[in-house]
Amino acid sequence: MVTRDADVTPVGSDVRTYQVRTYGCQMNVHDSERLAGLLETAGYVRAADGTDADVVVFNTCAVRENADNKLYGNLSHLAPRRAANPDMQIAVGGCLAQKDREAVLRKAPWVDVVFGTHNIGSLPVLLERARHNRVAQVEIADALREFPSTLPATRESAYAAWVSVSVGCNNTCTFCIVPSLRGKEVDRRPGDVLAEVTALAEQGVLEVTLLGQNVNAYGVSFADTDLPRDRGAFAQLLRACGTVEGLERVRFTSPHPAEFTDDVIEAMAETSNVCPTLHMPLQSGSDRILRAMRRSYRAERYLGIIDRVRAAIPHAAITTDIIVGFPGETEDDFAATLEVVERARFASAFTFQYSKRPGTPAAELPDQLPKHVVAERYQRLIELQERISLEENQAQVGRRVELLVAAGEGRKDTSTARMSGRARDGRLVHFAPGGRRVRPGDVVVTTVTAAAPHHLMADAALIEHRRTRAGDAHEAGRKVTTNVGLGMPSVGVPPAQPVTVGCGL
C-alpha cells in the first residue's frame, strides 16, 4: 500500500490540468471535492470549462445497473484523445473501481490509474508513478486506511458544504452493494466533525449537510465490549452544530428508519439552525418486501416516525427513496407501497426501478420481475407522487420563505430573468430578484406565488435581501478549502478530549 504524499509535484515544469467527473450519491460528490483538493495540493490546476484536461478522473458509482455501461462508454470516448496524447492520463476511482478492480484495465487498457473507495488519498502518487514508469497502476485497499475528511478538499460551493460523519454501513440490505464497497461503518469523533464544521463556517459557509450511509447510526463504532453504544450520539451532534457561530443551516442524510429515535426529532425541533426537512428512505410499503430486503422496520413504524416528526415540526418537508419491482413483488405488495405514499404525503421522492446488481443477495432471488411489469408500476408510482408533490407545493403558495440563493439550480433562469434558491425545508424556489444585485450565497426573503410538482415560484417583490460573506466569496471566485488534519478514529470509545468548539459531547 503506497502512502499518500500530499506534497508530490507533477513531473516536468509545465502545470498540468485536471477534471473530475462524478457519478452517484452525495458521498461521491464529497469524495470528488477531496480528489480536487488532493490534486491541487499536488500542483495540478482545474481545467477551464470546455477545455481538455491533462488528467481526467472518473469517480464512479456501482449502485445502478447501467453504471458499468455509462463508465465504459465515457472511457471509450476518451480513447482516441489518450492515444493521440501519451502525456494525458485517465484515472478511475470510486465504487465501480472498488468492485471491478483489474477488470477496468481489461475493458479499457488505455486507463492509467485505478483506485478504490478506501485509498482516494493515493491518487497523486499513483498518477506520478504511472506517468514516470509508463505502466498503469491499480491499487485497491480492502479496508479504510485514512478517513476521507483528513484529506484536503476544494469545495464546489462557497455557501453550502458536505461534512462526513461516518463512512461505510453495517446493514445488510439485500439490494445494496454499498457495504461491500464502502466497508463497515466507521465514525468520526464529534470534536473532529465540529472542527470541520467550524472551519467551514469561519470561511463564510452558511449551510452544512452531515453525511453518512446510515447517518443516525452515528456513534456505533465508538462502542466496545465494556461500554454500550450511545444511541444519543447523533442527536447530541445535531445540538452541538447549533452552537457553531455563523452556521445558519444544518441538514443530514440519510437516516435509517430502524435507527431513528425520538431524541433526534427533539434535537431537530429545538436546534434553531437544523432545517425542517427529513430525507428518510422507505424503499417499499409492503412488510413482506421489507423483510425480503432485510429492512428492519415495517410500514407502520415508518409512518409513526413521520407522524412524530410532523407533530414536532409541522411544516417539515419529508422526502424519501422508493424501489419498484423488487424480486417477488406482487400487485398487492405494490399497492401497499402506493398506500404508504398516499398516507405519508412526501414532498418529493427519488424513485427507482429495481436494478439487479451482481454480488448482492437480491440478485440471486427467484421471481425477478419482467421489465415491462416494473416499468408500468414505476409509472403509476410517479403519477401518484407527482400529484402529491403538486398538492403539497400548492399549499406553500402565499407563504413567506427564506432562500439561500444557489448557482446552477435553475436551468431556465436566464430566459425567465429569475434566480433560484433553496428554502429552509429544502424546496427549490425560482424567484424574481426585482432588479437587485443578488448573488449565489446571499439570503433573500420572498413570498411564494405559484407551484409546480418539483419547484415553487416567487415573483413577488423581495421582502429582504441580505448580502453575505458566502456571496462575496462566490462573486470573487474564491474556493472554500478544508484540511483540518485530523486522524483516523480509533476503535472503541474515544478518549476525553479538550473542548475547543463549544461541544458538550
77-83: long-range pairs with CB below 8 Å, 24+: 78/110, 79/108, 79/110, 81/52, 82/110, 83/110
Spatial contact of 174 and 365, defined as CB atoms under 8 Å apart: yes
Hey, which bits of 35-164 come out as E strands?
A: 45-46, 55-60, 89-94, 113-115, 137-139, 153-154, 160-164
* DSSP tag of 205: -
pLDDT value at 486 more than 80: no
Q: Which residue has the cell 423581495?
A: 462
231-269 per-position pLDDT tens digit: 889 999 999 999 999 999 999 999 999 999 999 999 999
For the chain, percent of residues with pLDDT exceeding 70: 90
Domains 17-139 and 399-482 share a fold: no
**Taking all residues of the chain, what is their mean pLDDT, rounded to a whole number?**
88
From residue 456, give the alpha-carbon distance in Å to each of 308, 392, 393: 26, 11, 7
Does the pLDDT at position 221 exceed 60?
A: yes
Assigned architecture for domain 399-482: Beta Barrel (2.40)
Give the model confidence (pLDDT) of 101-155 as tens digits. 888 999 999 999 999 888 888 899 999 999 988 999 998 887 776 666 667 778 8
Task: Report pTM.
Answer: 0.83
| CATH code for the domain defined by 17-139 | 3.40.50.12160
**Spans of all domains in the chain:** 17-139, 151-395, 399-482
CA distance 408 to 90: 27
Q: How far is CA 21 from the centre of its chain?
A: 15
Q: Which residues are annotated as a binding site for [4Fe-4S] cluster?
A: 25, 61, 95, 169, 173, 176
Helix 299-312 to helix 262-270 angle (10° resolution) is 20
160-208 residue pLDDT tens: 999 999 888 889 999 988 777 778 888 988 999 999 999 999 999 999 9
Q: Is domain 151-395 annotated with CATH 3.40.640.10?
A: no
DSSP state, residue 30: H
Binding-site positions: 25, 61, 95, 169, 173, 176
pLDDT at 480: 87
Cell matching residue 78 = 476518451
| Dihedral sign computed on CA atoms, order 273, 277, 283, 288 | positive
Residue 197: alpha-carbon gap to chain centroid? 16
Residues with Cβ < 8 Å from 300, sequence gap 6 or more? Answer: none
pLDDT of residue 400: 98
Pairing of strands 464-466, 443-447: antiparallel
User: Where residue 9 falls among pLDDT bands split at 50, 70, 90?
Assistant: very low
Which of 211, 90, 212, 222 lies closest to 160, judged by CA?
Answer: 211
> Where is average pLDDT lowest: 1-5, 296-300, 353-357?
1-5
In the numeric block, the cell 440519510 is attached to 254
